[in-house]
Amino acid sequence: MPQLHIWIKPRAVIDELDMKIALLSTIAILIAPTGLRLAPPNIDPIHKFAWSENIGWTNWLSDAPNPGDGVIVSPDFLAGFIWAENIGWINLGNGGGPYDNDPQASSTFGVNINFLTGDMFGKAWGENIGWINFDTRATQGATSQQARFDYCENRFRGYAWGENIGWVNLDDAMNFVAMGPNCQPGDIACDGLIGLLDYSKFPAAITGPDQSASCPLYDANSDGDVDLRDFAEFQAVFTGP
């Protein structure tokens, strides 16, 4: 585990920091557009399309409905918009996830990721097609085709279901949605942070020297295995929680 250094700040510094944080928070609220936007989209431009049987291609890095729009992947939830030429935008959540998806409060919808399993759950909203359910564990789990996030390859897999559009295929061998293009080794969700969540997956990814990697995301020196040399490189870029 990384060494954590805790600096206890003098009282006067805390007061000043608190004031600055309060001020910045106020400014952020004042300039925030509708919904939170935590980061720019982090979808790979060459892996941005998924196929739906009834609406055709969905574009996860689209500049639509507004310039700069696309999907933002965090390790445990999604945010932003998918654009589908035939049916318009699909909203995955406002960025304040993980989302409650409270049926009594429709504004709490959004797509989550179970960080332990990668399985997705929660709902997206399409302006012309209504809800898309990303929790397909009950119908697809038996064949391991539930909608899910593959942490080892920073891509989506499985199938989501829209009551008005049928299946959305996240599992095609060629046309799938992935994060990128320049994800650091070990950076789950390609969010630019190597934090404790990324760190927590490393032990299960270790194969040992010259043993073929099943989780290539952690092969930092690109020699085909995940061993202690990769771990050393991973530690060097650790940015904290």
Which span sits near Ca ion by CB under 5 A: 66-74, 134-142, 163-171, 183-191?
Answer: 183-191
Which span sits near Ca ion by CB under 5 A: 1-9, 22-30, 127-135, 182-190?
Answer: 182-190
Contact between 225 and Ca ion by CB under 5 A: the answer reads yes
In the complex with Ca ion, the residue whose CB is nearer, 55 or 120, is 120
In the complex with Ca ion, the residue whose CB is nearer, 76 or 100, is 76
State whether the Cα torsion 230-235-236-237 is positive or negative.
Answer: positive
Alpha-carbon gap, residue 123 to 102, rounded angstroms: 10
In the complex with Ca ion, the residue whose CB is nearer, 69 or 219, is 219
Contact between 187 and Ca ion by CB under 5 A: the answer reads yes
Distances from the Cα of 190 to the Cαs of 21, 44, 59, 114, 179, in angstroms?
Answer: 27, 10, 18, 17, 6
Contact yes or no for 99/132 (Cβ under 8 A): no
Residues 6+ apart with CB under 8 A from 66: none
Enumerate residues 201-220 that contact Ca ion by CB under 5 A: 209, 219
The binding site for Ca ion (CB under 5 A) comprises: 187-188, 191, 193, 198, 209, 219, 221, 223, 225, 227, 230
